[in-house]
Amino acid sequence: MNIKNNFFLVVILMIFAFPTFVRADKHLLYNELINNSVLDNVESEFVTSPGIDFSEVSSDTNGKGLYMLSSSKDADFPIVYYRGNISNNNLVYAGFCWHIIRTTDTGGIKIQYAGVVNDGKCNNEKEALVIGKSQYNDTNDNKKYGWMYNLGDGDVNVEDSLAKKYLDNWFKDNMLDYVKELEDTVWCNDRTMENSVFDIRTRLENGKPTLECKNIDDRFTVFSSKGNKKLTYPTAIINADELTYAGEVLKKTQVDTFVNISYSYWSMSPYVLSKNMYPNSKGMLNMYTFTYNTGIRPMISLRNSAILIKGDGNKDNPYYVEIEKQYRIMTDDYTTSSKEESEATDTINFNHKERTGYKYIETKVYDLDDNELDLSVNNNSFVMPNKDIKLISTYRELKSFYDLTTDNDKISINESSVEEEQTATFSINVPHGYKVTSVVLKDDANNILNIQLNNDNNIYSFEMPGNNVIVDATFEELPKFDAEGESITIDNNEYYENDEVVFDVEEKTGYYVKEVYLVDMNGDRLDTPVETIDGKYSFEMPSEDVKIMVGYEAVSIPNPQTGDNIYKSVIMLLLSSFAFIYGIINLDKHLNRNRL
């Protein structure tokens, strides 16, 4: 192939390889955001030294753009967030426009509803950015400040708030087809209090927002163990900490931040026992009673596998992404899995937990309809199917344990402590030439127990009763049989059935051993074969006395007048004749030469 052809081949390979390059990690939306972010604790284009002051609203000197949370910079997935008066965080997903709020600690991307797509653009304003209005709850009673709540004792998350019901209904009607592409991240409804004051109010008044969520009851998830597993769908609304990172400040007017849309909507953060915080239409992070009727803006979190397809995030050119589906791996309380969700064909590892008073049996894989799946499970691992699954480990409750012992040195106990109603086993080392005549099981009082005993090649088993068991056995010697014969040398004359009998056969001058065989005491020949190896003879002792018979035959001496000697004589005669004739011919030639 010449250089020109090689060049075209390289070009063709690069063309076909290009889609692979496009889908490489550097084109994940998360990486796109990371690469375009700056730390929030240093001076940058729109931040003066020493970094963003969260006690003040966003501005051209206090944050406007995409920032990395400095406390997360060394994490596997640093968190980035948008802040201020920006318009380059638009994204189209599931047929709707969304604003990117921030990323999660697993590389997911939290986005907030921003209306419908208009000719490929995301330029909605005011009421077009909400799905509708709802009260947060129907009364301002104590404890109704929760995304879920309980006016009684026990679990704090029993009843759905009206805002949650409103959002869930919208999600059910619009987003069910996309659940496998969404991350089951934490939605923080921080309700921790100190001296009857909500912690979130205190920290925001001091300009100290956080993305940490202290109590697991306040960390709302669907099935993730990072949270309370109380959500029906992987969706919620924004909280006041996220609004503060975005540029809002509690009770301070701010009119130029992307989360302030001149149209009020609920956050899920309480201010006092009867009021929640919300960004109001006047540009302020404020508070209002639960019965106030205001906007609902859904939030979801895209998986970290979201691949950037096109767009730059601006309203007229929003981001578009593709996301690989992942499936849930649910476990019971006694099973752990290496992942909580996974793509199909990934390898999943699992383990069971030890339970005091129980014995582990097995772990099986089921679908969500409780049908066992036909999966190959090896060394506590399997390949993920393309469906949600659950892992369930089974146990049985342990009963009392009792001693299994013996005083007989021919009996070997496998386990000396055996659980009631479980299988106990022991083996009997039967001495050579003996057979077992009885096996008995006794209690501590030497009473014989009436228990079914199973025997498999001298391995005995039985179901352990509710008391100690002593094992004993008796033996009886098997009969011996004689082996004798003439012209043999044998070490022993008495053998048990099936013993190997080894002997030598005497040599006789002028004779060779033609055959060795056995006969019974009546002289009848037996079928028992006699083997010979390296001059030793042997056979397996039958169940009767035997005689060993040796048959000899004389060694033959060659006759010089017959057989081989005749042939030799003929050959010698022929050779002599040839030599005589050859000599006459040569003599004649010699005489003729002399005459000449």
Which residues, listed in sequence order, are joined to residue 401 by a DSSP beta bridge? 419
pLDDT reading at 418 higher than 80: yes
CA distance 134 to 185: 24
Structure confidence by residue, pLDDT tens digits, 291-311? 999 999 999 999 999 999 999
**DSSP strand E in 479-543: where?**
480-485, 488-490, 494-496, 500-505, 511-519, 531-533, 536-540
Which residue do the tokens 């001693």 mark? Answer: 403
User: pLDDT at residue 323 above 90?
Assistant: yes
Gap between the Cα atoms of 160 and 150, Å rounded: 9
Span 430-456, mean pLDDT? 96
At residue 152 the predicted structure's pLDDT band, cuts being 50, 70 and 90, is confident
Residue 402: the pLDDT is 97
Q: Does the CA dihedral 117-118-123-124 come out positive or negative?
A: negative
pLDDT tier at 153, thresholds 50, 70, 90: confident
The C-alpha atoms of residue 363 and residue 358 are separated, in whole angstroms, by 14
pLDDT for position 256: 81
- Nearest alpha carbon to residue 461 among 422, 410, 426: 426
Q: Which helix (H) or strand (E) holds 350?
A: strand 347-352
Note the pLDDT tens digit of each residue in 468-505: 999 999 999 999 999 999 999 999 999 999 999 999 99
d(CA 295, CA 289): 14
CA distance 226 to 165: 23
Cross-strand partners of 67: 38, 81
pLDDT category at 101 given cuts 50, 70, 90 is: very high
**pLDDT value of position 592:** 47
DSSP string for residues in 506-572: ---TTEEEEEEEEE-TTSPBP----EEETTEEEEE--SS-EEEEEEEEEPP---TTSTHHHHHHHHH
Residue 427 has a pLDDT of 97
pLDDT of residue 525: 96
Assign 3-class secondary structure to 106-142: CCCEEEEEEEECECCECCCCHHHHCCCEEECCCCCCC
Alpha carbon of 408 to those of 427, 429, 486: distances in Å? 11, 10, 44
Percent of the chain topping pLDDT 70:
89
Task: Summarize pLDDT for 199-216 with one digit per residue, the tens.
Answer: 999 999 999 999 999 999
Instruction: Count other C-beta atoms under 10 Å from residue 218's C-beta.
Output: 23
Our CA angle for 85, 86, 91, nearest 5°, is 140
Question: Once rounded to an integer, what is the mean pLDDT over residues 267-280?
Answer: 96
pLDDT at 15 over 80: no
Determine how β-strand 133-135 pairs with β-strand 109-116: unpaired
Asked if residue 251 has pLDDT above 50, the reply is yes
Residue 571 has pLDDT above 60, yes or no: no
Instruction: Kindly state the percentage of the chain with pLDDT values over 90.
Output: 82
**Does residue 517 or residue 343 have the better pLDDT?**
517
- Which residues on neighbouring strands pair with residue 252, listed in sequence order? 249
Give residue 594's pLDDT band: very low, low, confident or very high (50, 70, 90): very low
For residues 301 and 306, what is the distance between their CA atoms, to the nearest angstrom? Answer: 10
At 364-379, the pLDDT tens digits run 999 999 999 999 999 9
Residue whose entry in the numeric block shows the structure tokens 């948008």 = 82
What mean pLDDT, rounded, does the chain reach? 90
pLDDT tens, residue by residue, 33-84: 999 999 999 999 999 989 999 999 999 999 999 999 999 999 999 999 999 9
- Amino acid code (one letter) for 468: N
CB atoms within 10 A of CB 304: 19
**219-249 pLDDT tens trace:** 999 989 899 999 999 999 999 999 999 999 9
SS3 203: helix
In contact, 245 and 209? CB cutoff 8 Å = yes
Q: Is the pLDDT of residue 572 over 80?
A: no
Distance CA 297, CA 266 (A): 8
Confidence of residue 19 (pLDDT cuts 50, 70, 90): very low
